[in-house]
Amino acid sequence: MFLALMAAATLSVGAGAARAEDGYDLWLRYRPVDGAAAVGEVTVLGDSPTLRAARAELERGLAGLRGGAPASTRAALLAGTAASPQIAALKLPLQGMGAEGYVIRSLQVDGRPTTVIAANSEVGVLYGAFHVLRLVQTRQPIGKLDIAAKPAVKLRVLNHWDNLDRSVERGYAGQSIWDWWKLPDYKDPRYVDYARANASLGINGSVLNNVNAKADSLTQPYLEKAAAVAEVLRPYGIKVYLSARFSAPKEIGGLPTADPLDPAVRAWWKAKADEIYRTIPDFGGFLVKANSEGQPGPQDYGRSHADGANMLGEALAPHGGVVMWRAFVYSHEQPEDRIKQAWSEFTPLDGKFARNVIVQVKNGPLDFQPREPFHPLFGAMPKTPLMMEFQITKEYLGFATHLVYQGPLWEEVLQADTWRGGKGSTVAKVVAAGAPGEGLTGMAGVANIGADRNWSGSHFDQANWYAFGRLAWDPNLSAAAIADEWIRMTFSNDPALVKPVGDMMAASRETMVDYMTPLGLHHIMGRSHHYGPGPWVAGGERADWTSVYYHRASPEGIGFDRMATGSNAVAQYAPQAGKALSADERFLLWFHRVPWDHRVASGRTLWDELVVRYSRGVDGVKAMRRTWAAMAPHVDAERHAEVAAYLAVQEREAQWWRDACIAYFQTFSKRPLPAGYAPPPHPVEWYEALSFPYAPGI
C-alpha cells in the first residue's frame, strides 16, 4: 500500500518533471509533518458539492501531510452537519454557532478517539475541515480539541479592482485571474484553487470587477461570465458581487438620466436586479464607488449618497442582495482638507441607509498610506453599519517587490480606540457590532491576486492575503500569531526559520514607514503610478493629488496643521481619540505643522530625526536581507532566490526613498545632516528627473 501510493505519486508527475516550488500552492502546501498520521481515517457525512469539497480537501491535505504514510486506523475524523443523525447524536453545542461557525471536539466515537467537526451548515463543515488542517500543518496537538469558532462579521469580501480587459488597477501580480474573454465557455481550473484558498480563511464573497466600473459588466454576456465564476465558487461558500456603475441606466439602459429618484431609473435597476438573479441565483450584491474621483453618482442629480444607495438596496432587497457603498469620496471643487470630506458628507446621513446597505470605509481618511490614523467615520456613525476596507495590494507600499507584512498595520487600526461608546470602543468592535438591530457587518480587502504563478506577485505578499482573511474572520487575532501560522504552512515548522522570519515580517511595516513616510508624513509618492518617492509633486489637475498639499514643507517647517489652528480635522474624532492620535509622534506631521528645530521625543530636532528615521528604514531592509540570506538552508532554492532578488530591489528603493526625500526636504530645512549620516549622492533635480513610463498597475 505504501509502495503503491508512492508509485502512483511518481507516475502522476513524471520522474523527469518534478515541479519546482513556485508558490502556487500558497499556504495549502501540505508537505509532510510529524503527527499527521494521528488524525486517522476521514469520514464526511452526507453528500453535496460543499461536503465533497470538504472531503477532498481533508483527503488531499492529510495525504500530503502524512507524506505517503497511511492514516492511523486507531483514530478517526468525523465531519458533518447537525442534519446528520450521527452528528446530532453527539449533542454538540451548535445553537450559537450560526450559519458559518463550527465546533471541533476530540471525542470517543464508536470506541475510537475521533476528531469531530460539526456545524449547522455545510460551509461550516468546510471551514472546520480547513481549521483541522491548519492545526496539523502548524503542528498543534490535536488530541484534546475543544474549539468553537464563528466569524466576527457577516461579509468577508475580496474586492478585485480587475478590469474587463484583464488589466488590474493597482495590481502587481500580472493580469486578472478572471479571463473574461474565455468565460463562460472556459472555466480555468485555477478558479477552484482560488476558491479553496479563500474558503480556507473564511472569505465568503468576491467582487469580481473594479470599483471604477464599466457598465458593460452588467450586460447579459458579462452576467453569464460572472455566473460561470459563481458556479465554481459556490461550493466553497463564496458569493459573487459586482461593482455597479451608477450611470449604467444611461449607458446600457438607454435612459436619459440616472437620477436615483426618477421612477424609470428605479424600475431599470429593479429589472436589472431581477435579470441578475435569474442568471446568478445567489448573487451577493453591488459594490459602488459614486461621486468619487470622477465616478458618476447621485450627487450628479443633487441627491445624497443615501438616496443612491437605498435605490440600489431596494432593487436588490427582494432577492436578499446587499449594497456596499463606499465612503471614499472627495471632490476637488471642495476646498476643505481632503481627509475631512468623507466625514462631512456621511455623518449627516447616519441612520438614513436602508437595511441592506453597508457603508464601506477605508482604514484611514486619506488613501491606504503606510501609516494613517484610523478613519474618523468609525467613531461617528453609530446608526450605520460600517464595513472596513483594507488594501491588500500594495499600491503605496512598494508594489510586489517590497517585503511589507500588513498584519501590524491592520492590527494597529483595528485595535485603535474610537471612544464611540466610551473607552475600549476599538475599531474592531465597531466593525463587528454593526448598527443596532440585526444589520450587516463586514470587512473588505482590495485583492492582490493576479494570474502570476505565485498569485500575489511575490511569495511574501501571499501573507497579506492570508492575514486579511484571518482578520476578517477574527479582527482580534494578533498579527504575529497570523504570521506564525502562515510561515509554518507556507515554508516550514522548523524553528530555525519560523522565529527569524516572523521577526522580520513583524518589523517590516515599521521599516517601510521609516524609509517612505516617517513621523506622520503622507502622500509623497510618485504621481499617478505611485511608485517611488515624489515629495516634489506639485501642480497638475488637482491640489490634493500633489505631495506639497500634504507635507507643506517650507523654510519655516513641515507638516499639515489639522488641529484647531488649522483644518481642525482632529475634531472629527471623539475628544479622547483625537487627543491620543495628535499626541502620538507617529502622527506628528499628519496633525501638526512644526519648525525644523522642533525637539522630538528622542531629544533630536525634527530635521535630524527625519534623517535618522529615513536611514533607519534603509538599515531595516539591510537587516531583512541578512535574515533572509541566513534562511537559505531552510527554504527551497526557487522561492529563496525570488525573495532574495526582491529584497535587493527593496534595499535599493529604500535607499532611493531616503536619499530623494532628504535631498528634497533639505532644500527647505537648509540644515546639514546629523554627523555620521551620508548625504544623498545626487541633487534633488536628479531624483525629480527620473521617470517610469511603464510602471505597472495604473
**If residue 428 lies in a helix (H) or strand (E), which one and from where to where?**
helix 427-433
Cross-strand partners of 389: 362, 444
Shortest reach from residue 437's CB to a second copy, in Å: 42
Asked if 629 touches a second copy (CB under 8 A), the answer is: no
Instruction: Choose the stretch contacting a second copy; rule: CB under 8 A; options: 175-183, 383-391, 429-437, 608-616.
Output: 175-183
Which one of 638, 668, 674, 677 is in contact with a second copy (CB under 8 A)? Answer: 638
Nearest residue (CB) to a second copy, 110 versus 185: 185
435 is an interface residue for a second copy by CB under 8 A = no
The interface mask with a second copy, positions 226-255, x = CB under 8 A, is ------------------------------
Taking the complex as a whole, the smallest distance from the CB of residue 211 to a second copy amounts, in Å, to 18
269: nearest Cα among 313, 306, 211, 225: 313
Which alpha helices (DSSP H) does 517-636 contain, by range? 548-551, 575-582, 588-591, 606-630
Catalytic residue among 367, 411, 461, 544: 367
Give the number of other CB atoms < 10 A from CB of residue 82.
Answer: 19
Catalytic entry in 100, 337, 395, 484: 395
| Number of C-beta neighbours around residue 556 at 10 A | 11
Judged by CB under 8 A, the residue of 62, 329, 413, 521 near a second copy is 62
User: What cell numbers appear for 281 in the block?
Assistant: 441565483
Catalytic one of 179, 193, 293, 300? 293
**Interface with a second copy, residue 165, by CB under 8 A:** yes
Stretch that binds a second copy, among 24-32, 243-251, 323-331, 466-474 (CB under 8 A): 24-32
**DSSP E strands, 152-293:** 155-159, 205-207, 239-243, 285-288
Q: Which of 35, 41, 43, 60 binds a second copy (CB under 8 A)?
A: 60
> Of these, 47, 110, 185, 333, which contacts a second copy (CB under 8 A)?
185
Of 97-105, 309-317, 445-453, 553-561: span binding a second copy (CB under 8 A):
445-453
Cα-based torsion angle of the residue sequence 8, 9, 13, 17 in order, rounded to the nearest 10 degrees: -120
Residue 580 sits in the site that holds a second copy (CB under 8 A): no
Q: List the one residue out of 468, 464, 589 whose CA is nearest residue 518.
A: 589
Q: Is 367 a residue of the active site?
A: yes
In this structure, are residues 418 and 471 in contact, taking their beta carbons and an 8 Å threshold? no
Residue of 491, 433, 445 lying closest to 642 (CA atoms): 491
Q: Quote the CA–CA distance of 119 and 94 in Å, as a whole number.
A: 7
Task: Give the binding range for a second copy (CB under 8 A) out of 23-31, 300-308, 549-557, 564-572.
Answer: 23-31
Which is nearer to a second copy, 183 or 581 (by Cβ)?
183
Cβ neighbours of residue 284 under 8 Å, at least 6 residues apart? 157, 205, 207, 239, 240, 241, 321, 322
395 is catalytic: yes
3-state secondary structure of 61: helix
The least distance separating a second copy from the CB of residue 14, rounded to whole angstroms, comes to: 5
User: Residue 278 or residue 652: which is nearer to a second copy going by CB?
Assistant: 652
| 686 forms part of the interface with a second copy (CB under 8 A) | no
> Is 337 assigned a catalytic role?
no
Q: Among 1, 15, 675, 689, which residue sits at the site for a second copy (rule: CB under 8 A)? A: 15
689 binds a second copy (CB under 8 A): no
> How many residues bind to a second copy according to rule CB under 8 A?
58
Exposure string (b/e) for 655-687, b if CB count within 10 Å is 16 or more? bbbbbbbbbbbbebbeeebeeeeeebeeebeeb
For 119, the 3-state DSSP assignment is: strand
Q: Is 181 in the site for a second copy (CB under 8 A)?
A: yes
Interstrand relation of 239-243 and 285-288 (parallel, antiparallel or unpaired): parallel
Kind and range of the H or E element at 183?
A: none
Q: Is the peptide bond before 184 cis (omega within 30 degrees of 0)?
A: yes
Residue 164 CB, nearest approach to a second copy (Å): 4
Q: Does 645 bind a second copy (CB under 8 A)?
A: yes
Assess 72 for contact with a second copy (CB under 8 A).
no
**Exactly one of 140, 186, 599, 683 binds a second copy (CB under 8 A); which one?**
186
Contact status, residue 515 vs residue 621, Cβ threshold 8 Å: yes
**Binding residues for a second copy restricted to 194-223, rule: CB under 8 A:** 216
Q: Which of 76, 133, 151, 66 lies closest to 110, judged by CA?
A: 76
Segment contacting a second copy by CB under 8 A, of 119-127, 450-458, 618-626, 678-686: 450-458
**List 85, 111, 189, 302, residue binding a second copy (CB under 8 A):** 189
**Smallest distance, Å, CB 12 to a second copy?**
4
401 CB-near residues (< 8 Å, 6+ apart)? 457, 458, 646, 649, 650, 653
**What residues are labeled active site?**
293, 367, 395
Q: Which residues bind a second copy (CB under 8 A)?
A: 3, 5-7, 9-20, 22, 25, 29-32, 60-68, 164-166, 174-175, 180-182, 185-187, 189, 216, 401, 451-453, 638, 642, 645-646, 648-649, 693-696
